[in-house]
Amino acid sequence: MKKDITFKELKDSGYKEKTIRQEIQANLIAKIKAKEPVFEGLWGYEDTVVPQLKKALLAGHHINLLGLRGQAKTRIARSMVNLLDEYMPIVKGSEINDSPFSPISKYARDLLAEQGDNTPISWVHRSHRFFEKLATPDVNVADLIGDIDPIKAATLKLPYSDERVLHYGMIPRANRSIFVLNELPDLQARIQVSLFNILQEGDIQIRGFQLRMPLDIQFVFTANPEDYTNRGSIVTPLKDRIGSQIFTHYPKTIELARHITEQEALISPEDKAAITIPELAKDLLEEVAFAARDSEYVDAKSGVSARLTISAMENLVAAAKLRLIESDSANTTVRLVDFISIIPSITGKIELVYEGEQEGADEVAKLLIDKAVITLFERIFPRITKLEKEGRKTPYTDLTRWFNENSLELNFTDTDEEYYANLESVTPLNEIIDEYAANYSRDDQNFCKELILWALTISKKLDKSENNTYSFN
């Protein structure tokens, strides 16, 4: 933390005052010229959202990030803090980050008038220059802008007409900072109106005070298009004052989705060391989210958050960890049968349409997993035909015949040695792997064996019973 100095020392240091927009622009330009990443961790936005953000900031615009839930809107807003200078000088004791070069509060103006070059200057780190508020129906003007504080008036023995009796709200306290207002449509229309002057003229009005306070704030709003009809709307004059509206989106490929999940899922180093997650298991997890976004049972307007796969990955690892504990093993591998444990992550993250409600959340979750299994299966193996000519052999004929005389039981709590020994005993299964999945790793090949069995049951070629074990016959 930087130590306090005087106003004279600040001026002698050569410090030049900048507005927050000039500050962001200068640091953005420096990062671009140095070819440094401006917004880290935003997978899939490199050619869409990020270029628009750069242009909006270079234009000095307030920004509205418009997108469905789980599209990293808040992450984008929080990452803008890295475009601020590390430290910012303020008049010491100021509630609203007064610049000593252009003070706007009575406190700072009086202190500078009294002490001049000896005015104490303190420093604010950029991490304290980010303010965030979730817009809810109970938010009022006093919360955001401010109000008269009768206790302060009584304590200081001042009339209500004195500026010093004001209690500043969140927005004035965010002067020379970034202010993020999440879920803007949830804010009542009359409260949105109170933002007009702040965005256009940069000043505030409190309780009829003839008070001009030119605030210097970078506003970032977030909104979900669904909210426009379900819970409210952004009033047109306010929308008109927001310089750039940028649409976010979900990852467009499995690879990008995997990067996001691996980056965000909270998995301890100890669990990573003890639990192997096959690459195909990671792909299948993302396929579930893609299936949900295309499902006729899921409300597309509500969206399917990226948090679904993040939570599901954590549940998968938890299922494997439970097996480690119950089997007293040192290591294990995530299996396809473990995917039953992600159902709570799915049901809690999707909004169902009427048909989905009729099916039931759990049943829809199972259908999504089945659809993801078939999609991944058909990327590797020949499609399973529903109708087969009598006497015609398919890649799966020998396997289905094997099950005419045998059965296979897969137990969740079996050790890896026991579990994969059972799979290895199905000879036709090994032959299919050798023909179509020979280039995959050993872990992925084992996962493929389960994938084949699961796909055959979905296609009604095998029967599957499910309790504490999975039985195929």
Q: Where are the domains of the chain?
A: 5-247, 254-472
- pLDDT at position 136: 82
Kindly tell me if the per-residue pLDDT of 141 is higher than 90: no
Q: What is the CA radius of gyration of the chain?
A: 30
* 380 pLDDT more than 60: yes
For position 205, what pLDDT does the model report? 66
| pLDDT given for residue 115 in this prediction | 94
Is the pTM for the entire model greater than 0.85?
Answer: no
pLDDT band at 235 (very low <50, low <70, confident <90, very high): confident
- Comparing C-alpha atoms, which of 295, 451, 324, 456 is closest to residue 380? 451
Give mean pLDDT, residues 267-284. 95
- Condensed to tens digits (0 to 9), the pLDDT of residues 54-99 reads 999 999 999 999 998 889 998 999 999 999 999 999 999 998 999 9
Residue 303 DSSP class:
-
CA distance 43 to 79: 14
Model pLDDT for residues 297-338, shown as the tens digit of each residue? 998 888 898 899 999 999 999 999 999 999 888 999 999 999
Task: Say what percent of the chain tops pLDDT 90.
Answer: 56
Q: b/e for 53-78, b at 16 or more Cβ within 10 A?
A: bbebbeeebbbbbbbbbbbbbbebbe
Distance of alpha carbon 397 from alpha carbon 377, whole angstroms: 17
Over residues 338-363, mean pLDDT: 91
Mean pLDDT (whole number) for 223-247: 78
pLDDT of residue 161: 64
Written out in words, the top-level CATH class of the domain with range 5-247 is alpha beta
Alpha-carbon gap, residue 293 to 301, rounded angstroms = 10
In the DSSP assignment, the letter for residue 100 is S
Average pLDDT over residues 356-367: 91
Instruction: Give me the numbers of helices (H) and strands (E) for the chain, helices first please.
Output: 23, 15
**Strand 63-66 relative to strand 244-247: parallel, antiparallel, unpaired?**
parallel
pLDDT of residue 356: 87
In tens, the pLDDT along 25-48 reads 999 999 999 999 898 888 989 999
Cα–Cα distance measured from residue 417 to residue 332, given in angstroms and rounded to the nearest whole number: 9
pLDDT at 346: 93
Report the percentage of the chain scoring pLDDT > 70.
Answer: 92
Look at residue 170 and tell me whether its pLDDT is greater than 50: yes
The enclosing H or E element of 221 equals strand 217-223
Q: 218: pLDDT confidence band, cut at 50, 70 and 90?
A: very high
Q: What is the largest CA-CA distance in the chain?
A: 101
The b-or-e profile of 337-355 (16+ CB within 10 A means b, else e) is bbbebbbebbbebbebbee
Mean residue pLDDT of the chain comes to 88
Mean pLDDT of 286-305: 91
Residue 232 backbone class (left: φ over 0; alpha: ψ -120 to 50; beta: rest): left
Classified as helix, coil or strand, 188 is coil
Rounded to an integer, the average pLDDT of 398-405 is: 88
Q: Output the DSSP codes for 379-446.
A: HHSPPPPSS--TT---TTHHHHHHHHH--EEEETTS-HHHHHHHHHT-HHHHHHHHHHSTTS-HHHHH
Q: Please tell me the predicted confidence (pLDDT) of residue 298.
A: 92
Q: Counting every residue, how long is the chain?
A: 473
What is the average pLDDT across 363-377?
95
The mean pLDDT of 95-113, rounded to a whole number, is 91
pLDDT bracket for residue 469 (50, 70, 90) = low
**pLDDT given at position 229:** 47
**For residue 160, what pLDDT band results from cuts at 50, 70 and 90?**
low
